[in-house]
Structure formats: C-alpha cells, structure tokens
Structure 1
Amino acid sequence: MSATTAHPSSSPAPAAWSRIVGSGSCLPERVVSNDELAAELAQRGVQTSDAWIVERTGIRQRHIAERGVTSSDLGTEAARRALQDAGVDAADLDLIIVATSTPDFVFPSTACLIQARLGASRAAAFDVQAVCTGFIYALTTADSFMRAGRARKALVIGTEVFSRILDWNDRSTCVLFGDGAGAVVLEASPEPGVMAAKLHADGSQTKILCAAGNVAYGEVTGDPFLRMEGQAVFKQAVTVLDRVAQEVMEEAGVPLSDLDWLIPHQANVRIINATAKRLGIPLERVVSTVDLHANTSAASVPLALDAARRDGRVKRGDLVMLQGVGGGFTWGAVLARM
C-alpha cells in the first residue's frame, strides 16, 4: 500500500505550500563510545569491539538517556530549539505531530504531553508510528494538512529512547541504536518548500524488524525487545531507498542531478553509501551522522538535518531529499526546497 503527496507544476496551486523554517535537536548528555560499550557488554559475557562495530556499521558512539528520561523530555527540548530557530511562538502552532516508537505511555500521546509543556494550547496533537520512517510519515502528514488549508504553522518531531527496548545481551542489535530527538517547524508559504513525498508499507515483512511484546491484562506478553534480521533489512533497505528516491524525483519533475543534499535514515553507513552509489550521488552530497548518533529511529533524519543546517552545509534554497526506512516494513521520502 502506498500514499503520495506531490505538487507537479501543472497542478492547481494548493491552499498553501509548506516550508521548513526552523529545526532543533536534543541528545542525552551521556555519550557512550564503542570502547565503553564493549567494556560494559564484556561484563555480561557479550564480546564486541570498536573495530567490529565500525567495520560493520560506521558507528563510533551513541547518546544514551539516563533512566527516567522519556521521549517527551527529549522531544520537548528539540521542539523548543526548533521554535526558537524559526522565530515562532508555540502559542501560534496549529498542529503538532510526533513520530515515535518509544512513547511515554500507551496514552495520552507523546504529542499531547509535549503540547502541554510548550503551552501550545491551540494546536491539534497526535503521534504517528512508522518506526524509522516515522518522521517522513509525520512530515508528509503535516504537509497535507497545510495544503488542505487546515494548518499554517506546524511542529513535526521525531523522538526516541530506544535504549528502553534493547536486549543488551544481543550484540546484533544493542550496538546499533541510540537515543535522541529532532524537530522541524513548518510554515505556510506562497512558494513550494515540500515539493513531493511518497510513502510505502509492506506489512508482510513485519518479522524482519520488530518489537513484538505488549502489556495485556497486567502482564507482559511476547518478546518486549527489538529483534532484527540484519541481512534481510539491509537488502530491503537499499532496494526501497533507491526506488523511492527515483519515484519522488519523478513526481516533482526534477532530475537527480539537481539534488543538493541526500539526508537518509541514519542506520548503517553501508546502507547510506550503497544507496548513494545506486543513485549516482557523490558522498560529499550525503549527510551522515550515524558515526556520532548511531540509529535513533524516527529521530535520525531530523537530527541529521539539524546538524547539517547548523554547520552550514544545508542552506536556504537548497534542494534536499529526506528518506526513511524501518520496521513495518515502511519506507518513504520527501523532497523539499529549504
């Protein structure tokens, strides 16, 4: 099943375009290097090393939240920084969408918790759950609200505390993930910012990446930890990220050669490099933060975007593609003029 949001030049002008006008991020203070993680895992009888992790993933460190720090804590701070960057008052927001697979509670939504902390009482607020593609789903949804004229200022957040759901005895997964949050502010614009978007899902692939536990009748049922079939995920990710990039550029009527920056989901440097190679995009035009953040799921794309905006790589007017791929199985991309 798929969904498309596209604005070809031949289509009537929407009620409003949406443009990214600010970004922000929040990372837990604790930085855990590969060496430190390897030493901690060795105490559990799990053997790994910095060389082993870097060779297979490109990850050198990750941020890990202290116990008690929640997705709403990280997401609220990222949101505040994005609002400050955009020069937007939280009271003027019409919409808050949070992408997370590690919500504070079953309900209320993490978006409602963040709304209350920000004082954004006018804003509708809800969560979306598409795992590592969550931010792309949330951004596409917010853009659709704006094109329909139902919002003029929106906040989109990806926030995760994946350390809560990791099996620290499973070397194949626990070395891969980190915690963090990233956010963007969208404003209605007379000119296109978000130019095209494409979302996909294939529920038949659920078992290759899942956390299949739940709480029912006061008991934990199933497996509460994240499980992944690494080779299957790698193969699927590279294939679909290549395909969806081509689809989005075609929808927008823009050649790949016009793309200034590719900002893919930050899961594994091998996936990032393989995707860029398939698309013919030089690595110097690919934003990669996986070495510093590891895989932060729904937070990875907005964290990478914010890092690239703040260090001056991504500038106003640049054409940027944002990509996500994750459990579900889900994938998608957004093409945006900054």
Structure 2
Amino acid sequence: MNIRNVKILGTGEYVPATTLTDLEMDERLGMPPGWSRRTTDVQSRHFAAPGERAAVMGARAAEAALEAASLALEDVDCLVCASGTRQQALPCTAVFIQEAMQAGQSGIPAFDIDATCLSFLTALDVMSSLVAVGRYRRVLIVSAEIASVGLDWTHKESAALFGDGAAAAVIGPADEAGPSRILAASLRTYSAGAAFSEIRAGGTLRHPDGPTPAAAQDYRFAMNGPAIFKMASRLLPDFARELLTASDTTMAAIQAVVPHQGSALAMRLLERKLGIAREQLVYITPTRGNTIAASIPMGLHAAIGSGRVKRGDRVLLLGTAAGLTLGGVVLDY
C-alpha cells in the first residue's frame, strides 16, 4: 500500500441562495410536470445569481473549511482550486479565490488543478503526496462550480441535472499512530471517450479570431450520456476492484462511498456493478444535482456533518470525469 500520513482537517460548503425546483425546471424545459425528477432524481438545485462569481463562492466554502479545522488562512501554505469550470481563461481561479479571501498580498501559492468532475479527487491525490513528503504542510483545496451558465437547454436530460455550488477541504499531516491516513489512490484516463463530454470552445482550437471559428453552441456543455454510461459500466468494476486491492481492503469494510454525483443512472450503476449497499452510498443528487468537481467534497462534507462519517472511518471517494477518466481514493478519515 502507498500509505500517506495525511488527513482531512476540515471541510466546508457554500451554495447560492437561488434554488430551482424540479417543477420549475420542467417549466423552463417545456416538459410535463414530473419529467425532470423522473429523469434525473434532482428535486432541487442551486443556481448562482447573475453576477455571482465562482471565486467568491469558493472563498466562502474555504472559510467554512478553515473554521472547521480551527485554522486561519495564514496557517495554510498552498491554495489549490480544483474545478472543472473556470471563472475566466487567465489567470487561474485560485488567484481570484485568494483575492476574495482578502489575502491578495499574502504570497500564498495559488494554482488550479483541472480534471473536470474529478478535479477535487485529483488535487487530493497530488497535494496529499506533496504534504506527505514535506513540500507543503497544510493545503486548502477548493472546488467552485457555476455549471448553469454553460448549459445547453436544448439537451434537456443534461440541463435538468446540473447545479452550482462550492466545497472545500483543508489537508495536513497526520500522526502515524492516529486513525487518519490515505491508503491508496488511482486515476486512469481513456481518451477514446474524450468526445463524450466536452465544451469545444474557450481554448486555442475554436476561437472567434482563430482558423476554426467558434459558434455559440461550442461554448456550451455537450454530453453523450449513453456512451459515457456504456464505457464506465465496462471499466469501473475492474478499476474499483484493483483500487480496493491496492488499499488492502474490501467494499464491505468501507463505511461510506462518496461518489461523483454524475446522475441517478450512474448511482444505480455503482450500486449494481460494484456491490455497494444503499446504506454505504452518500447520495446528495436530489438536493444538489451534479455540481461537477464540487460534488465529491460536497458529499464528503454532508457525510461528516451528519455524523455518517466519523474520525477513523474508512471512506471511498470514486467517480468518472470527462476524458474519459476514472478516479478513486481510499482513506481513513
């Protein structure tokens, strides 16, 4: 096992004040009442208000995580934004989160790690390794997502699924004799599925002044849900089995599975294919929807806050992302 003596010191969450219920979503999509709930299992989700910035959302979640850890920002020596969406192309969103935390003169290193829906999990993997070797002592990881501005409202199934919000976690060194540690982590990317989930514009390939001009639709999120489901269904069982073997554990020994809340269909896939019991699964889709990279730390925060996850409990963080990427972390909280 590649054990790292690193633990989660505190978590926090922020959700916008505006909510959109399933019936309001049905009306917006021009569908009969009950359609979006049957299709996605999302009963309500939060949407950022016009002008609400992702960095400010992230700052509020970060402040809550620091408070839970009984720390201040000056106790942290690195700030990472782990999001699948960006506030703007340049500079990275972490810079604006630092600014929103009134720390613009602090010098705390701030940068982004982007693996779309698995950005938080990837940042946890990378930054815990750096904490374990002593490069950083305490790291603040923030996922802040505004999905609502990029939705393609003509693609009703995906538009009905997403929500906005932010979540954060502070990580730091753990006592070798204590109950908390990271047991194993794994990421695998299969670029054969790259076109299944994408926003084509915003980079150098499609640009208003480029050789391949961007149309308005290229700036909106496009997803081939059935293709993602088919590919993930084939790959996830072996991936999860190998991750559990690497951590010298079994699914039955896991107290809580915190998945990326991709869709209700994805949750059923996890239960059926991986043998996850309903009581193990942390399921926040009905009240949050798919909040991209924020969904895993939101689920973890909810599980800790409700007492479902207690210090020393074994937890599996698991999901898929655009790429197509699979990721997982096994930890003792």
Tell me, yes or no, if the aligned pair for 1:234 and 1:271 is still in contact at 8 Å: yes
Match of residue 131, structure 1, among 101, 106, 116:
116
Cα distance change of structure 1 residues 241 and 20 upon mapping to structure 2, 3 Å threshold: farther
Partner letter of residue 187 of structure 1? G
Kept in 1, the 8 Å contact 2:40–2:157? The answer is: no
Q: Which residue of 1 aligns with 2:41?
A: 58
Contact 1:273 1:283 in 2 (8 A): no
- Of residues 278, 293, 296, the one that matches 2:291 is 296
% identical equivalent positions: 31
Q: Which residue of 2 aligns with 1:70?
A: 53
Shift of 1:41: 2.5
Gaps of 5+ in 2: none
Deviation for aligned residue 1:296? 0.5
Query: For residue 189 of structure 1, what is the amino acid of its counterpart?
Result: A
Superposition deviation, residue 193 in structure 1: 1.7
Query: CA deviation digits over 1:108-131, x for unaligned, max 9?
Result: 111111123332825321111111
Is the Cα contact below 8 Å between 2:208 and 2:214 reproduced in 1? no
For the pair 1:221 / 2:214, whether they are aligned, the reply is yes
TM-score (norm 1): 0.90
The one-letter code sitting in structure 1 at the alignment partner of 2:214 is T
In structure 2, the residue matched to 1:330 is 325
Instruction: State the shift of 1:74 in Å.
Output: 1.2
2:44 partner letter: Q
Task: Pick which of 96-105 and 73-82 moved more.
Answer: 96-105
Partner of 2:152: 167
Greater shift in the superposed pair: 190-199 or 70-79: 190-199
Alpha-carbon offset, residue 218 of structure 1: 5.3
What is the deviation of 1:239?
A: 3.5
**TM-aligned CA deviation for residue 310 of structure 1:** 0.8
Matches within 5 A, 1:225-236: 225-236=220-231
- Asked if 2 retains the 8 angstrom alpha-carbon contact of 1:18 and 1:143, the reply is yes
1:194 — aligned with what? 182
The residue that corresponds to 2:18 in the other structure is 30
Q: Work out whether residues 109 and 126 of structure 1, in 8 Å CA contact, stay in contact via their aligned partners in 2.
A: yes
Aligned length: 321
Aligned to 2:194: 206
SS of equivalent to 1:214? coil
The answer for unaligned runs of 5 or more in structure 1 is: 1-5, 9-13
Alignment of structure 1 residues 1-338 onto 2, 5 Å: 7=2, 17-42=5-30, 47-50=31-34, 52-118=35-101, 119=103, 121-191=106-176, 192-214=180-202, 216=207, 221-222=214-215, 223-338=218-333
SS at match of 1:283: coil
Shift of 1:297: 0.5
Q: Retained in 1: the 8 A contact 2:26–2:36? A: no
Q: Distance in 2 between matches of 1:291 and 1:60?
A: 5
Tell me the alpha carbon deviations over residues 75-116 of structure 1, each in whole angstroms, 9 at most, x when there is no partner: 111100000001111011111111112211111111111123
